[in-house]
Amino acid sequence: MRERSNIRGGLCTAVLLACVSLFASAATAQEWTTSLVDVHQGSSLSDKARGLGNGGYELQSGSWVSFSRWYHASWVDMHVDFLTQITPDTGFLWGFGTGEQAEKYRIEPSLKLGFLTQTHPNPNSTLSLSVTTTIGGNLTEKPCEADYGAFGTYSVNCRLAAGETAPEETLKYLVSARPETMRLWLNYRLTF
C-alpha cells in the first residue's frame, strides 16, 4: 500500500491560519462589507455525473434499461461565492455549494474559504493574489444489487453489470472524484 502525503491538509491549514491572521490584524474601526461575487449551478463533477447516465443495457428478456433515470438529479449543485472586504486591498473569500443527488450518485455539499489581496505597483496597475480551498463536494457513485439468476445476487457497478467483467470486479470502477480543492490565482491588470 502506498503512503499518502498530508501536504494538502497542511496547505489548507496554512490558508485558514492566514485568514485568521488577516482578521486579527484588520482595523476594528473599519466596517467590513460583504458582496455577492458569483452564483452558478453545475460544475465539472455535475457534468461527470450526468455523463454516467449515457447508455444502458439489455435484460435477458430483451427489454432495455437506460442509465439516465439513475443519474438524473432534480437539483443541480448550486455554488454561491461572497467577498467580505476587510481593508481596501484585502478580503475574505467564502462560499458554499449545495450538493446534488440522484439514485446512483451523490455530490456532497461544499464550503469554500480563502483570501484576496491586491497592491498597486503604479497608479495604472493592479497586482492581485487570491487563494481558495474547497472542503467537501466529493462525487460518489453508488452500487446496484444485480440478480444473476442461478449464479446469485451481487453488489455491482450498475453501468458494468451486463458486461463481461466479474460482478465483484465491477465495484473497482465506481466513480469517486473530488472537486478542485485548492486554487491559486495571480492577476496583473494594466490600464492605459
Residue 1 within a domain: no
Residue 114 within a domain: yes
For residue 85, which of 22, 137, 4 has the smallest C-alpha distance?
Answer: 22
Residue 60 within a domain: yes
Q: Could you tell me where the beta strands, DSSP code E, fall in 59-179?
A: 64-66, 78-87, 90-97, 100-102, 105-107, 110-119, 125-136, 139-141, 144-147, 153-156, 176-177
Domain span at 169: 7-190
Residue 158 within a domain: yes
**What backbone torsions phi and psi does residue 188 show, to the nearest 5 degrees?**
-120, 125
How much is the average pLDDT of 77-96? Answer: 95
Q: pTM (2 decimals)? A: 0.76
Residue 76 within a domain: yes
Residue 2 within a domain: no
What is the pLDDT, as a whole number, of residue 20?
52
H-type helices in the chain, by residue range? 7-25, 44-51, 167-170
What is the pLDDT, as a whole number, of residue 3?
39
What is the pLDDT, as a whole number, of residue 45?
95
| Banded pLDDT at 154 (limits 50, 70, 90) | confident
How much is the average pLDDT of 168-186? Answer: 92
Q: Which residues contact 143 (CB under 8 A, 6 or more apart)?
A: 155, 156, 157, 158, 171, 174
Output Rg (C-alpha) for the chain, integer angstroms: 23
Task: Render pLDDT for 47-86 as a digit per residue (tens, 0 to 9).
Answer: 999 999 998 888 778 888 889 989 999 999 999 999 999 9
* Lookup: cell for 56: 444502458
* Lookup: cell for 150: 442461478
Residue 101 within a domain: yes
Do residues 19 and 53 touch, judged by C-beta distance below 8 A?
A: no
Do residues 173 and 187 touch, judged by C-beta distance below 8 A?
A: no
How much is the average pLDDT of 146-164? Answer: 84
| Banded pLDDT at 7 (limits 50, 70, 90) | very low
Total tally of structural domains belonging to the chain: 1
Residue 77 within a domain: yes
Dihedral sign for Cα atoms in the order 109, 46, 180, 156: positive
| Banded pLDDT at 30 (limits 50, 70, 90) | low
